[in-house]
Amino acid sequence: MSCQLASDSILYANGIYRVVYEIVGVVLPCWVAYAIAGLVFAFILVNAVLLGAAAITWGERRLLGRFQNRVGPNRWGPFGLFQPIADLVKLLTKEDLRPDGSDRVVFSLVPVLMVAPLILMTAVLPFAKNTALASLNVGVLYILAVSSITSVAIFMAGWSSNNRYAMFGAARAVAVLISYEIPVVLSLLGVVMVAASMSLGTIVEAQALPFFLVQPLAFFVFMAGMSAELNRSPFDVAEAESEIIAGYHTEYSGVRFALIQAAEFGGVGVVAAITATLFLGGWSGPWSEYLGWLWFLIKTGIIVFLFIWFRATYPRLRIDQIMAFSWKFLLPLAMVNLIAVTLEVFLLRGDDGVLTVTDLAIMGVVNLAVTVIAIAVFGNLIKERVSFRTRQPQNVVVPGVSTIEVI
């Protein structure tokens, strides 16, 4: 007795899943095999996200150390690689505090709600050719929908903590998340339009030329928006540690804090993976197609490095400036990109509806020009709104003392 997946199943394309399903299906009933194969793959994904989060915490601390002329954790294991494990053991053995007057159910639910969407998002990610758990034909839409759950979780954390700093953080986070969702979605529309599909697998295959070259503007908007959605510098107002302690997770400790941290750093990893898939060509790369996972990891690593680099470099913007940046700068840019891509696709697409590499290259050149012009124009527009109050230098005291003045 053996079980066969229907070829139109969304799981069919996944090689690992199919192999496990068919092997288990030899000895067990098909529905058990179906479940076991699913669990095996889910196990891989959960571990990928959580271990990835651990690796990113280590990488971030080491890299920040390098950026800042210090060493970073290097005691525990080779290059301090076991530091996340030590951290986890410490956090697990801490007392699990819940503040007086907090909403017990909501408070306890938050860490789970923070981590779950991340793992759900990985379900549609193609790590290599034919390796997505489910190659959904609405993959992009699915990712956008699932990622929005985080904002609810953050607000729940702020609301239930019974702490004013947490409330500040939650209010800020929700404002930021909602504002940045729109430019992100609009920037992804361009990608979807060129790839003519919402399935992540198809989008990867459509990238004969990586989309960050074809649509630099969309890439810029997407990265900025994702920085904001991840609460990363320079948009990290929701957990601005110098202002509101730790923002929405001020009151979390012990294992709950560990889960929230895992969600934060795992979020960086997952978003980097999504960015690599959508803009950097995912698993596609030279040499063997079996090296797809390596290209995918390298590209994800590059994006993670970018996020860490931002964090080490930029100061934070104020909340009103962040909102202005989203609505007055990123949104118009996303619109410009959308219009440009629409026109280009309409003009360049052949009768068969396919864009060749030459078409993509032409689009890339045109879009680069559009990017430069649009950023210059809207950058200058927004600059006027944050004009400085400038007065004449005024010496209250005696002449005779030499001074230098602000130019």
Classify residue 248 by its DSSP letter.
Answer: G
CA 51 to chain centre: 17
Nearest CA to 57 out of 78, 32, 88, 27 is that of 88
Interaction of residue 311 with other proteins, rule CB under 8 A: yes
For 16, residues 6+ apart whose C-beta sits below 8 A from its C-beta are 40, 41, 44, 131
Q: How far is CA 204 from CA 63, 134, 150, 210, in A?
A: 29, 15, 26, 9
- Closest to other proteins by CB, 1 vs 401, is 401
Count of positions on this chain that bind other proteins (CB under 8 A)? 48
Answer for the pair 150, 110: CB distance below 8 angstroms, yes or no: no
Interaction of residue 59 with other proteins, rule CB under 8 A: no
- The nearest distance, CB 391 to other proteins, in angstroms, is 6
Residue 17's CB: how many other CB atoms inside 10 A? 23
Among residues 7, 93, 242, 288, which is the contact residue for other proteins, using CB under 8 A? Answer: 242
Answer for the pair 132, 14: CB distance below 8 angstroms, yes or no: yes
Among residues 153, 156, 217, 240, which is the contact residue for other proteins, using CB under 8 A? Answer: 240
Interaction of residue 68 with other proteins, rule CB under 8 A: yes
Nearest CA to 157 out of 76, 199, 102 is that of 102
Interaction of residue 236 with other proteins, rule CB under 8 A: yes
Select the span of 6-14, 148-156, 335-343, 396-404 touching other proteins (CB under 8 A).
396-404
Among residues 64, 297, 345, 362, which is the contact residue for other proteins, using CB under 8 A? Answer: 64
- Closest to other proteins by CB, 147 vs 250, is 250
Answer for the pair 320, 385: CB distance below 8 angstroms, yes or no: no
User: CA-CA distance, 338 to 246, in Å (whole number)?
Assistant: 37
User: CA-CA distance, 55 to 43, in Å (whole number)?
Assistant: 18
- The nearest distance, CB 324 to other proteins, in angstroms, is 10
Interaction of residue 405 with other proteins, rule CB under 8 A: yes
Select the span of 197-205, 241-249, 344-352, 369-377 touching other proteins (CB under 8 A).
241-249
Q: Which helix (H) or strand (E) holds 203?
A: helix 200-206
- Closest to other proteins by CB, 138 vs 318, is 318
Interaction of residue 105 with other proteins, rule CB under 8 A: no
Give, as ranges, the residues between 162 and 221 that touch other proteins (CB under 8 A).
164-165, 168
Burial class (CB in 10 A: 0-12, 13-18, 19+), 200: buried
Interaction of residue 380 with other proteins, rule CB under 8 A: no
Assigned token pair, 169? 């953080």
- The nearest distance, CB 300 to other proteins, in angstroms, is 22
Among residues 287, 290, 346, 388, which is the contact residue for other proteins, using CB under 8 A? Answer: 388
Select the span of 6-14, 230-238, 260-268, 361-369 touching other proteins (CB under 8 A).
230-238
Select the span of 205-213, 234-242, 259-267, 274-282 touching other proteins (CB under 8 A).
234-242
Interaction of residue 159 with other proteins, rule CB under 8 A: no
Among residues 209, 319, 331, 360, which is the contact residue for other proteins, using CB under 8 A? Answer: 319
Mark 36-74 as b/e (b = at least 16 C-beta within 10 Å): bbbebbeeebeebbbebbbbbbbbbbbbebeeeeeebbe
Nearest CA to 135 out of 9, 282, 6 is that of 9
Give, as ranges, the residues between 265 and 294 that touch other proteins (CB under 8 A).
none
User: CA-CA distance, 157 to 250, in Å (whole number)?
Assistant: 9
- The nearest distance, CB 382 to other proteins, in angstroms, is 10
Among residues 133, 237, 271, 304, which is the contact residue for other proteins, using CB under 8 A? Answer: 237
Interaction of residue 384 with other proteins, rule CB under 8 A: no
Among residues 35, 42, 67, 255, which is the contact residue for other proteins, using CB under 8 A? Answer: 67
Among residues 2, 320, 354, 358, which is the contact residue for other proteins, using CB under 8 A? Answer: 320
Point out which residues bind other proteins (CB under 8 A).
Answer: 64, 67-70, 164-165, 168, 233-234, 236-237, 240-245, 311-321, 386, 388-398, 400-406
